[in-house]
C-alpha cells in the first residue's frame, strides 16, 4: 500500500526534525565542552596568577629582611683574638666598645688641624655616626659650621683633645657623660689657655641601610643626642 503525499510529507518532516535534534544535541555537547574547557583554563590561569603573586610578595618580604649582622673583633699584634656578634657581646665588653667609640666621636668633632685633609677626614668620621633625623646631627652640624668652624679656627690655632672620663649614666643606660680638655696652641705651638667641657651623649643601634653606611659605620652605632656644656 503506497503512502499518500501527506504521509510522505509528515515522514520527511519527522526525519528533518530528528536530524535537527541530533545536530543540535551534538552542537550543544561541543559547545558545552568548549565552555567547560574555557572555564577550566580561566581557573588554572587564576590559580597560577595567585601563586605568582604570592611568590613575588614572598621574595619582596624576604629581600626586605636584613641579612647583615655586625661582628666585633679584637686584634693583638696583627692577630684576631676575639670575634663575636655585636648583639651577643657581654655587657661589660659592649660598654667598653661604646665608650671607645664615643671618645673617638668627641675627638673627630672637636679636634682642629692645620692640615685641611686631616680635618676633612675627622669631620667625615664624625658624620658617619650621625643621621639627619636625630638631634645630634643638628647639634654637631651647628657647632662645626657656625659656632666653631674648624677651618676658621685653624687659621690661628690648633686644638688637641684629651679625654678625661667616659661614664655610663646607669647599668643599662645608653647615655654617657664625657669629660675632656681641649689643649690649644697657636700655629707656632705656643700654648693658649685650655678649655674644659663635658657632654651627655646618647647612642643607639640601628643596622646600616646602605652599602655606604655599612662601610663607614659597620656596627650601626649612632649618636642621638650630643649636649655639650663648658666646665669652669
Assigned C-alpha cell, 135: 638631634
The 3-state DSSP class for residue 1 equals: coil
Task: State whether the Cα torsion 118-120-124-126 is positive or negative.
Answer: positive
Q: Which CATH number fits domain 86-231: 3.10.450.230, 3.10.129.10, 3.20.20.100, 3.30.70.100?
A: 3.10.450.230
Weakest-pLDDT range from 83-92, 95-104, 154-163, 217-226: 83-92
For 142-153, what is each residue's pLDDT tens digit? 999 999 899 999
Cell 510529507 -> residue: 9
What digits encode the pLDDT tens for the residues 120-133? 999 999 999 999 99
Distance in angstroms (rounded) separating the CA atoms of residues 102 and 169? 14
Say if CB 166 and CB 99 are below 8 A apart: yes
Give 49-64 pLDDT, tens digit per residue: 788 777 877 667 665 6
Helix (H, G, I), strand (E, B) or coil at 189: coil
pLDDT at 142: 95
Amino acid at each position: 500500500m503506497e503512502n499518500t503525499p501527506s504521509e510522505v510529507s509528515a515522514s520527511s518532516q519527522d526525519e528533518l526534525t530528528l536530524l535537527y535534534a541530533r545536530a543540535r544535541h551534538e552542537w550543544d555537547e561541543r559547545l558545552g565542552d568548549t565552555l567547560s574547557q574555557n572555564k577550566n583554563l580561566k581557573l588554572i590561569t587564576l590559580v597560577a596568577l595567585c601563586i605568582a603573586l604570592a611568590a613575588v610578595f614572598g621574595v619582596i618580604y624576604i629581600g626586605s629582611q636584613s641579612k647583615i649582622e655586625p661582628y666585633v673583633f679584637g686584634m693583638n699584634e696583627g692577630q684576631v683574638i676575639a670575634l663575636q656578634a655585636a648583639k651577643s657581646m657581654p655587657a661589660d665588653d659592649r660598654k667598653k666598645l661604646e665608650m671607645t667609640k664615643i671618645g673617638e666621636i668627641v675627638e673627630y668633632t672637636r679636634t682642629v688641624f692645620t692640615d685641611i685633609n686631616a680635618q676633612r677626614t675627622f669631620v667625615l668620621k664624625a658624620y658617619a655616626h650621625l643621621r639627619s633625623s636625630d638631634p645630634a646631627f643638628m647639634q654637631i652640624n651647628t657647632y662645626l659650621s657656625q659656632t666653631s668652624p674648624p677651618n676658621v679656627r685653624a687659621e690661628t690655632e690648633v686644638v688637641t683633645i684629651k679625654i678625661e672620663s667616659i661614664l655610663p649614666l646607669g647599668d643599662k643606660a645608653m647615655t654617657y657623660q664625657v669629660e675632656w680638655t681641649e689643649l690649644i696652641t697657636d700655629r707656632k705651638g705656643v700654648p693658649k689657655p685650655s678649655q674644659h667641657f663635658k657632654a651627655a651623649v646618647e647612642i643607639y643601634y640601628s643596622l646600616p641601610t646602605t652599602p655606604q653606611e655599612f662601610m663607614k659605620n659597620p656596627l650601626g652605632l649612632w649618636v642621638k643626642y650630643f649636649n655639650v656644656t663648658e666646665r669652669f
